Amino acid sequence: MEHQFTSPAPQTLDGWFALHDFRIIDWQRWKGLSSDEKRTAMRELSMLNQGFSEDESVNKAGFGMFAVVGHKADLLFLHFRPSVEELIEAKYRLNQTRFADFLSSPYSYFSVVELSSHLAKPGVDPLENPATRERLQPKVPAADFVCFYPMNKKRVHHDNWYTLSEEERREYLMAHGTIGRTYAGRVKQIITGSMGLDDWEWGVTLFADDPLQFKKLVYEMRFDEGSARFGEFGPFLVGERIKDSNLSRLLRA
């Protein structure tokens, strides 16, 4: 007998748009610059980051810059903005700098901050709740490390997330959330939805002062039935927050 879908698609609360803008530095060309040329490029980059940070301070944006571990990228410029136009503007503001002449783009991810609609009360604007508004319009948490990965829910034979009933999905999500809550205070998570926006269905961004917590959390989640049966994961990228005080040190400018 053909399976009948038992429930409509669950609705979501959607907040600010997100851009994970990863960049690689052309080290050969960068090392060929004179000290004065490096300082000029670095000064312009620092002014750009200051502008992004000022936007964040007046709650118009979320922004963070990170040095990425491994070969997949060197830098991550992480943006949360109210509109797609503002994300594009942020990207082009970087591209117009002298420093961008030494950058290439190995990977980026476009999505929108997403929360369950269960957090909203009927007939009430969710943005009237300060806690919900903070989650939908996030600043980048002041943690030392970031971990980003995209993911899908499987659609394979009996392990098809989208043919489960609403009750079954809720049970799996509750069990998944129970594990996550044990890491409260150690890891902060921002979930962004990307169906129709990028190649995966969701982006997961984790923040912590101790990067080992990323491994512990993801490892423990692997034993959760919902993750084990239905989770498909893309590349993991981890970075350390960059501040102006150590930017010149990292780039030897």
CA neighbor of 118 nearest in space, from 10, 19, 240, 234: 10
Report the sign of the C-alpha dihedral through residues 84, 85, 86, 91, in that order: positive
Beta bridge partners of 108: 21
In whole angstroms, what is the distance from residue 83 CA to residue 93 CA? 16
CA distances from 78 to 21, 111, 118, 140, 239 (A): 6, 12, 28, 8, 11
Beta bridge partners of 192: 113, 203
Q: What would the two tokens of residue 63 be?
A: 């922004």
Q: Does the annotation mark 162 as catalytic?
A: no
Q: How many CB atoms lie within 10 A of CB 66?
A: 24
**DSSP strands (E only) in the chain:** 12-25, 62-68, 75-81, 103-116, 145-153, 155-156, 159-160, 188-193, 202-208, 231-233, 237-241
List 92, 107, 109, 149, catalytic entry = 149
In whole angstroms, what is the distance from residue 216 CA to residue 159 CA? 25
Q: Collapse the DSSP code of 78 into the 3-class scheme (helix H, G, I; strand E, B; otherwise coil) and give the result.
A: strand
Query: Residues with catalytic annotation?
Result: 149
